[in-house]
Amino acid sequence: MASRKIPSSGEAIPVVGLGTWQTFDLPAGAGAAARAPLVEVVRGLLDAGGSVVDSSPMYGRAEEVVGDVLADLRPAGKPFLATKVWTRGGREGEAQLAESMRRFRVRTLDLAQVHNLLDVDVHLPMLRERKRSGVVRYVGITHYTTSAFADLERRMRAGPVDFVQLPYSAAVRDAEARLLPAASESGVAVLVNRPFEEGAIFRAVRGRPLPGYAAELGCTAWSQLFLKFILSHPAVTCVIPATADPRHLAENVAAGSGPLPDAALRDRIAGELR
């Protein structure tokens, strides 16, 4: 799998990761049998050269399930684990971060983000302090709506933040106007959420064969075409589609290698959704 550098450090991370919203929120008491498909999903990610796994306390039991899955797998390589602070108040944020690390079963967290900018003026300084002390390696901010783009841009430019997580897809291209250029200019790595618009993109092309030009990009599934659209933007560092299906994971990670669309093909991919 291809990788791209985190601008603030030069460390490279693989371009396709894994989100855990809904897909890793297993019921309390779920055992190894219930986790088995998720074990295969994470195994497939790591075997393909991926490493980024993103979660949040907002996602129910997802963090704990990620920790359980990694304990089941005992991978030789270390995943790049990212989560978020999603609460109000300084003490509450500190406690939540500590609980997230306990659930992940780690002593050092790769990326800690302020989820949806909730109480960001309180949590971001705390996360920066945790970075200085070595508890957290990178600090970021996130949102899932385009209406938050102006605030995300302002905070990126004010800095310092290492990552921004934002929505971007072939169907919703608002980030191209200002936010992705701002990330590039500010030296901020970009994680892309909502790459499939919660399935709306697939519904738009349901029953249609892949266009002939997909073969030029090595794509055998619509998901790969849509992920390659995202990855063809130079400001994007990593895209994090969520799945609990090992077959879908295999399709997704395949988008992390091979050619990417040029400007003309990007427009054709977006045009498939009109």
pLDDT > 90 in the chain, percent: 97
CA distance 224 to 18: 14
Q: Is residue 78 scored above 90 in pLDDT? A: no
Rg, C-alpha atoms of the chain? 18
Structural domains of the chain, with CATH: 11-198+235-245 (3.20.20.100)
Q: What is the mean pLDDT of residues 21-48?
A: 95
Tell me the residue type at 215: A
With bands split at pLDDT 50, 70 and 90, how would you rate the model's confidence at 77?
confident
Report the mean per-residue pLDDT for the chain. Answer: 97
Quick one: which H or E segment has residue 167? strand 163-167
3-state secondary structure of 164: strand
Q: Does residue 143 contact residue 116 with C-beta atoms inside 8 Å?
A: yes
Q: Is the pLDDT of residue 209 over 90?
A: yes
Is residue 202 pLDDT above 90, yes or no? yes
Residue 90 has pLDDT above 90, yes or no: yes
Is cis: bond before 160, omega within 30 of 0? yes
Give the pLDDT confidence score for residue 274 in this predicted structure. Answer: 87
Q: Using the predicted structure, report yes or no on whether residue 148 has a pLDDT greater than 90.
A: yes
Q: Say if residues 268 and 274 touch (Cβ distance below 8 Å).
A: no
Cα–chain-centroid distance for residue 108?
19
pLDDT class of 193 with cuts at 50, 70, 90: very high
Question: What's the rounded mean pLDDT across residues 50-74?
Answer: 97
Distance (Å, whole) CA 142 – CA 84: 9
**Predicted pLDDT of residue 120:** 97
Q: What is the pLDDT of residues 154-163, one digit of tens each?
A: 999 998 999 9
User: Is the full-model pTM beyond 0.85?
Assistant: yes
